[in-house]
Amino acid sequence: MKTYSIIYAFLALVVIGCSTSNDTDTINEFTQFYKADYTLLMHGDDLFSSQLVSINDDGVTIDPSHDGLAISPMPVLALQQGTIYVYYKELDVCSGEVTIHDFSDGSSETVAVFPEFSACELEVTGVELQDRMLYVSYVKKENAKTDKYYVRVIDIGSSEPVIITDVELVMKPLQMVYLNNRLFVLMIDLEITNENSLAVVDGSNNTLINEIGLGYNAKQIFKNANQELIISYEELHTILNSTTFGMEYVRYESGNEPKFHDSRFNFMNGGTLYYKLPTDDPVHATIPAIYNFDNNLAVLYYYENFLTEAQLDIEFKIGETTLVSYDESNGILIIGYMKKDKANEGGLLRIEIDPDPKVIDNTDLAGVPYLIYYP
């Protein structure tokens, strides 16, 4: 097994006693202006909606009606794929629908998932999209003691959606990732062992072709830039070859865990993961972090190491981090956050990270940003 060493370049205060920035520092010591258009998915006042944020020489322009996407309440089951946002909405205990919204052209389509059910009790646990095939994992209660587990496969490529099949599983599905013409389903055995397993479904004929034991406490799965599956635990992650099913284990040093196992809506750029890291700070419950899978190194961005106390607590009023991403066209870090004193308001920080973190600008928002799309 491999171990990794965590980079403390931006934790100098903790490691070598370096002082943090003082109130006389300025935040605009940069030589380049970064123009950009971002579509942000925002949450505030029980409404989840999109807004276009344009930053140019004339300042910041916010268009709250951009694309007309407005959802209430915030979706629990959702995924992001490039410019596409997919989410599930329950209509009643027997039915629900999936909406697929493309921010590149503003188009949306809605798919009824369980049109044939009339008397039932369902729990939908995940959604996945591959080209024009939609996958929905769910639990169907057969009676007071028996649950059945399935992945529903729906072809949405024709004029009307067609339900292809229901792939039955032996355990409760938790999450799905489509990779290398295969659907990988993270499952948990709730009836006997409480262990996790991975079901592998052939994408060509929708048949179950493999089941892989994962042990206990697998938290999430996602794919990396090498088309491998990452299986994340608190104390390690596993790299699964999606063709041979061979596994490589990367175990963390105790006390230096990167803690991306519970972070959702992360951004992957090459071999680097941008995510929200939990802390023990009640105000900054999560902070920005970066994990590089090529060299198994993490960088943690504690706000006090690149913001003054006045900026952090008075000017920006930064609370919990809600979004971490990377603007590839400009080569800068994007951080979204919730205001510490207003749960329905937030902001967007843009950061130069090479060679040291430096604030480019901050934009106050009438909502809390959770996802970002680039043009």
Query: 23 pLDDT exceeds 50?
Result: no
Indicate whether 53 belongs to any domain: no
Say which residue, 375 or 208, is predicted with more confidence: 208
**pLDDT of 69:** 73
**Last-in-domain residue among 188, 221, 251:** 251
**What tens digit of pLDDT does each residue of 305-362 get?**
999 999 999 999 999 999 999 999 999 999 999 999 998 999 999 999 988 899 999 9
**pLDDT of 33:** 67
Find tokens 């169907």 and name the residue. 140
**Last-in-domain residue among 208, 224, 251:** 251
**What tens digit of pLDDT does each residue of 185-209 get?**
999 999 999 999 999 999 999 999 9
Residues 109 and 175 in one domain: yes
Indicate whether 47 belongs to any domain: no
**pLDDT of 20:** 39
Residues 204 and 268 in one domain: no
Span 157-183, average pLDDT: 96
Residues 220 and 359 in one domain: no
Question: In total, how many domains does the chain have?
Answer: 2
**pLDDT of 21:** 39
Residues 312 and 337 in one domain: yes
**pLDDT of 188:** 98
**pLDDT of 223:** 95
Query: 29 pLDDT exceeds 50?
Result: no
Say which residue, 264 or 93, is predicted with more confidence: 264
Q: How confident is the model at residue 113 (pLDDT cuts 50, 70, 90)?
A: very high
**pLDDT of 117:** 82
Residues 154 and 259 in one domain: no
Residues of the domain holding 302 = 1-29+254-370
Query: 171 pLDDT exceeds 80?
Result: yes
Residues 20 and 124 in one domain: no
Q: How confident is the model at residue 22 (pLDDT cuts 50, 70, 90)?
A: very low
Mean pLDDT of the chain: 87
**What tens digit of pLDDT does each residue of 218-266 get?**
999 999 989 999 999 999 999 999 999 999 999 999 999 999 999 999 9
Residues 242 and 279 in one domain: no
Residues 84 and 209 in one domain: yes
Say which residue, 71 or 348, is predicted with more confidence: 348
Residues 128 and 145 in one domain: yes
Query: 300 pLDDT exceeds 80?
Result: yes
Indicate whether 337 belongs to any domain: yes
Residues 247 and 268 in one domain: no
Q: Which of 35-49, 142-156, 188-202, 243-257 has the lowest mean pLDDT?
A: 35-49
**Last-in-domain residue among 216, 251, 286:** 251
pTM: 0.89
**pLDDT of 104:** 87
Query: 26 pLDDT exceeds 60?
Result: no
Residues 164 and 183 in one domain: yes
Residues 346 and 364 in one domain: yes
Query: 16 pLDDT exceeds 70?
Result: no
**pLDDT of 373:** 93
- Map the chain to HEC letters: CECCCCECCCCHHHHCCCCCCCCCCCCCCCCCCCCEEEEEEEEECCEEEEEEEEEECCEEEEECCHHHCEECCCCCCEEEECCEEEEEEEEECCEEEEEEEECCCCEEEEEECCCCCCCCCEEEEEEEEECCEEEEEEEEECCCCCEEEEEEEEECCCCCCEEEEEEEECCEEEEEEEECCEEEEEEECCCCCCCEEEEEEECCCCCEEEEEEEECCCCEEEECCCCEEEEECCCEEEEEECCCCCEEEEECCCCCCCCCCCCCCCEEECCEEEEEEECCCCCCCEEEEEEECCCCEEEECCHHHCCCHHHHHHHCCEEEEEEEEEECCCCEEEEEEEECCEEEEEEEEEEECCCCCEEEEEEEECCEEEEEECC
